[in-house]
Amino acid sequence: MQSQPPVIKPEPPPDKIIEIKSQGPQTRCYICGNPEIVSLCHHCGRPMCNSHTPAAERNTWLWEREFAELELPRDTTPGEMGIHCQDCAHKIWSRTFFVSGVTALILGLSLVIPTRDLPSLALVIALGCALNLGIVGFMHSRKIRLAPVKHPLPLLPTFGSPRVSETLRGKIDPKYPQGSGRSFVKYLSSDGTLTVSAGFSHADRERLEHYRRKFGAQAAGMVDFHAGFAALKGPAHLLWTQTDIKTPVGGTIIPLTGRLDQQPYFGNAPESKQREWRISQHYDLPAAAELGDFPLGVVPHLAQGGSQRVLRLEVQWAVPHFPGSNLKIDHIQSLVLHIPHNWQEVESAMNMHVIGEDESGGRKVTWQGVALTAEDLILQRHIFPLRFESPIDPIMPIRGEVKIAFKGSISGIQGVDLFYPLGQKIDGISSRVDTVISAEFELSLERIPLQHVRIVPDPQKDQNRQATVTFEDVAPDFATVATLTNALDDQEFEVEMVRQNPPRPIERVTGTSYHWEIAGRHYLGVLPVTYTLDISGESSNPESEHPAKACTRVRLRVAGQYSHSPQKWPVKGKNVDLSLEQQIVEVWDSLYQLVQNTMKSIKTT
């Protein structure tokens, strides 16, 4: 009896991982989704693009303008006809039509009744009832109203530029951080504000009187008004918290409404300074709460020489990336440094600064509106040096706050469009969107580098460390450099510069000579350690008669400042405590091992 071969069951496919990412709401046409909005429904605020905006209807003997008798401009925007979506569309019978209908009915009855012709009288009455039922049915099917609805009073104030202001706040932990990067800054809060300013005019007061006569409103306090809409542009990753007016429509369209009793200009004794109306909408930024490394830091240095009288504050930043964000650094808004009481007077300081008193009676130095150079933008840092009259006491900690201004928003808001209360878009008004990232700091000078620089490898201290490493059969081409920079980034070695000299052909053999330079930083908490990789070598062409041999040479150099403090701190990923000088050497060892492993993997593949 032959045994049956075993049945091999296919392995089930691996589970698919579905990642759900939240998307911020965006103002789009409610019919086709087009983000180019030109109008809103003046009832519900639904947005519409140019293709789906209904054509303006003219006043006829049959239909009446919805906002007639309110002295709104008829021939120009916004006109007297409101814009409607498909659900809110309606018409209003003209009073001329009613007067004509009633006159015709009375005339018909006056001609028939004297004749006492009962059949004719019955026919006129029957025709009147049938006409009435037909009109009612037609009005119901076409959403036609007998009389205008009492809408809020439409006002046409003069608007200023809307502004979106967002803030992200953090605090530098005074304790020495565990690990590297900018994780030593603690996230505190993030929020934003939409501000719209407007100014009422005398025409708005006159419109109130017309509104009272039409709808019978007696007091201004009983009247609601509608000044238009503000619509956000771009994806809005936000959560509304406090509002001065109605809840935003769809999360992105804000009705600009209010009560006249809250506007002094519409009282009995209006003054010119009371014409302004300011609307503020506050919101939180939930995406910022999931921020990893805080994008702002401050690193103090005690400069070498100068009898320990020069303090250098290095403000560092990184442009944060959130879903839909569009941030671009603009300038350093302010830096405030509180000087310890036992320090002497400031002898000199670069950039525009002001020396004054703080809330405790001590001294403080303030810089405001500091422009950034091209080098600052490349290196993502700016240095503030201060020179004091006497040596600095490192025992006292320094504290202060730095604020950096960015153009754009964290939430993804790209701008704000304004619309009239009847739904038409207001042209010619630009909006402003900016963000301020700030960090409070309190740092100890005992833990910062002081007058000593450690360079690795050092000819005297690091005789067992090889400065240049050679890798056979590896060409120093673009692919090799790209693989190496990716590996550096994965191990928290920030790459600030990659520079290549023009490749040169090698004489007598077929090949190309390359030379690259990679430079960047690695952080020991708040302390930056710079590194340089000098890469050179040749590539080969195996199809040539005399090919060059592929070879890559990498020269490693690490530099960092340190103090002769006996205190030691833990090393990330290792169960050991080392001094600052030892940790700088440890950075070189880690970089050397990273280059070795990366080059071997390139050679293998």
Question: Could you report the per-residue pLDDT of 117-153, keeping only the tens digit for each?
Answer: 656 656 666 666 555 555 555 544 444 444 445 678 8
Assess contact for 236 and 322: CB atoms under 8 A: no
Q: How far apart are CA 406 and CA 601, in angstroms?
A: 41
Strand ranges (E), 57-159: 91-92, 144-145, 153-154, 158-159
pLDDT at 2: 47
What φ, ψ does residue 421 adopt, rounded to 5°? Answer: -65, -20
- Would you call the peptide bond into 547 cis, given omega within 30 degrees of 0 as the criterion? no
Q: What is the mean pLDDT of residues 357-381?
A: 84
Q: With bands split at pLDDT 50, 70 and 90, how would you rate the model's confidence at 329?
A: very high
Q: Which residues pair with 401 in a beta bridge?
A: 336, 440
Is residue 406 over pLDDT 70? yes
Percent of the chain past pLDDT 90, that is, above it, reads 21
Q: Given pLDDT bands bounded at 50, 70 and 90, which one contains residue 61?
A: very low
- As a whole number of angstroms, the distance between CA 519 and CA 28 comes to 45
Return d(Cα 329, Cα 392) in angstroms, integer: 33
Helix count (H) and strand count (E) of the chain?
A: 6, 31
Mean pLDDT over 95-109 rounds to 57
Distance CA 243, CA 32 (A): 30
Strands of 381-388's sheet in order across? 296-302, 310-317, 381-388, 346-349
Whether the CB-CB separation of 42 and 65 falls below 8 Å is answered with no
**Phi, psi (deg, nearest 5) at residue 124:** -65, -45
CB 155 within 8 A of CB 200: yes
596, pLDDT greater than 80: yes
Residue 258 and residue 244: Cα distance in Å, rounded? 9
Is the pLDDT assigned to residue 333 strictly greater than 90?
Answer: yes
What does the alpha-carbon distance between residue 403 and residue 409 come to, in Å, rounded to a whole number?
15
249-281 residue pLDDT tens:
778 899 998 888 888 888 765 555 578 888 888
* CA-to-CA separations, 458 to 17, 449, 462, 511, in angstroms, rounded: 50, 18, 5, 34
3-state secondary structure 452-488: EEEEECCCCCCCCCCCEEEEECCCCCHHHHHHHHHHH
Among candidate residues 249, 256, 134, 141, the one with its CA nearest the CA of residue 195: 256
Can you tell me the distance from the alpha carbon of 424 to that of 279, in angstroms, rounded to the nearest whole number? Answer: 20
Residue 128 Cα distances to 102, 107, 132, angstroms: 10, 12, 6
Tokens of 282: 């506050």
Percent over 70 (pLDDT), the chain: 68
Residue 349, pLDDT above cutoff 80: no
Hey, which bits of 25-65 come out as E strands? 39-40, 47-48
Q: How far apart are CA 193 and CA 196, in angstroms?
A: 10
Cβ contacts of residue 67 below 8 Å, gap of 6+? 80, 81, 82, 148, 151, 154, 422
pLDDT-derived band at 213 (thresholds 50, 70, 90) equals: confident
Q: Which of 73, 78, 76 is nearest to 39 (CA)?
A: 78
- Is pLDDT above 60 for 5? no
Alpha helices in 312-433 (DSSP H): 374-379
d(CA 196, CA 415): 12
Inform me whether the pLDDT recorded for 166 exceeds 50. Answer: yes
Phi first, then psi: give them for residue 383, nearest 5 degrees.
-110, 130
Asked if the model's pLDDT at residue 567 lies above 70, the reply is: no
Min mean pLDDT across 204-218, 438-452, 453-467 is at: 438-452
Residue with token string 């492993």 = 597
| String of DSSP letters for 250-284 | TTTEEEEEEEGGG-GGGSSS--GGG-EEEEEEEEE
Report pLDDT for 120: 62
pLDDT tens, residue by residue, 452-489 = 778 899 888 888 888 899 988 888 888 889 999 999 98
Q: Taking all residues of the chain, what is their mean pLDDT, rounded to a whole number? A: 77
Mean pLDDT of all residues in 231-239? 89
Cβ partners under 8 Å of residue 146, min gap 6: 92, 93, 139
For residue 162, pLDDT beyond 90: yes
Q: What is the pLDDT of residue 448?
A: 59
Residue 442's alpha-carbon distances to 110, 318, 448, in angstroms, are 96, 20, 13
As beta bridge partners, residue 399 has 338, 442
Supply the pLDDT for residue 403. Answer: 95
**CB of 338 closer than 8 Å to CB of 383:** no
pLDDT at 66 over 60: yes
CA–centroid distance for 34 within its chain: 22
* Best CA proximity match to 398, nearest among 451, 335, 350, 453: 335
CA distance 228 to 235: 22
Residue 22: the pLDDT is 61
Confidence class for position 524, pLDDT limits 50, 70, 90: confident
Top pLDDT among 313 and 527 is at: 313
Distance CA 340, CA 298 (A): 17
- In 474-508, which positions are buried (b, 16+ CB within 10 angstroms) versus exposed (e)? bbbbeebbeebbebbeeeebbbeebeeeeeeebee
Q: Does an H or E element contain 587, and which?
A: helix 580-604
Quote the CA–CA distance of 357 and 359 in Å, as a whole number. Answer: 7
Q: Write down the pLDDT at residue 143.
A: 44
Listed range (184-188, 414-418, 543-547) with the worst mean pLDDT = 543-547
